[in-house]
């Protein structure tokens, strides 16, 4: 299996992941109906995000937590949504790549998804 090592690899991974997400019965509607995401803008942001996290290229400048709060206010983003997001991400990484950086992509996503799930939950209680 191929190592995850280039910007092209990130683009392929992110494209395949959001292909799955967009038509996913459990979380797809957050993107297509709730936030009505413009994929031409969203995908390049996600390439930059993952390039920054995995290769230390500082190409993403944003606040990944902040954009999810307005979504969470419209429709609660619950623990099971994040678990499902993570299952799709892990599956997509493992179907296409192996090695240290692929493992790191799963590890970092797990940490962020858990933290995000917690923050969304807290935001709904205040
Ligand atoms: C159930 C899980 C999730 C859902 C439904 C979701 C949904 C969304 C949506 C709808 C947007 C676009 C918001 C907008 O532009 O108005 C977005 C952006 C984004 N998401 Fe998520 N997300 C989830 C989990 C995650 C996780 C776990 C991560 C990180 C590992 C993540 C990283 C990002 C980033 C980096 C952006 C772009 C932020 C920016 O505009 O700078 N998301 N997400």
Question: Average pLDDT over the chain, rounded to whole?
Answer: 97
Contacts of 78 (CB under 8 A, 6+ apart): 117, 120, 121
Q: Does pLDDT of 2 surpass 90? A: yes
Place of tokens 């997001």: 85
3-state secondary structure of 3: strand
pLDDT of 57: 86
Any residues with Cβ below 6 Å from ligand 1, and which? Answer: 27, 30-31, 35, 37, 42, 45, 49, 62, 64, 67-68, 71, 77, 81-82, 85, 109, 112-113, 116
Q: Are 54 and 104 in contact (CB under 8 A)?
A: yes
Q: What is the mean pLDDT of residues 66-89?
A: 97
CA of 3 to the centre of ligand 1 (A): 25
| Residue with CA nearest ligand 1 atom 41 | 62
For residue range 26-74, list pLDDT tens digits in order: 999 999 999 999 999 999 999 999 999 999 988 999 999 999 999 999 9
CA of 118 to the centre of ligand 1 (A): 15
Q: Are 64 and 112 in contact (CB under 8 A)?
A: yes
Domain 7-125: which CATH number of 1.10.490.10, 3.30.70.20, 1.20.1250.20, 3.40.50.300: 1.10.490.10
């Amino acid at each position: 299996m191929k190592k995850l090592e280039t910007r092209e690899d990130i683009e392929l991974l992110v494209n395949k992941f959001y292909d799955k997400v967009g038509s996913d019965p459990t979380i797809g509607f957050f993107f297509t109906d709730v936030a009505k995401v413009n994929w031409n803008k969203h995908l390049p942001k996600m390439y930059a995000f993952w390039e920054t996290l995995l290769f230390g290229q500082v190409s993403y400048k944003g606040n990944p937590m902040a954009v999810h709060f307005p979504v969470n206010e419209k429709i609660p983003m619950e623990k099971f949504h994040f678990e499902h997001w993570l299952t799709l991400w892990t599956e997509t990484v493992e179907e296409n790549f192996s090695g240290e950086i692929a493992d790191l992509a799963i590890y970092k996503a797990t940490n962020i998804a858990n933290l995000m799930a917690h923050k969304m939950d807290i935001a709904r209680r205040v």
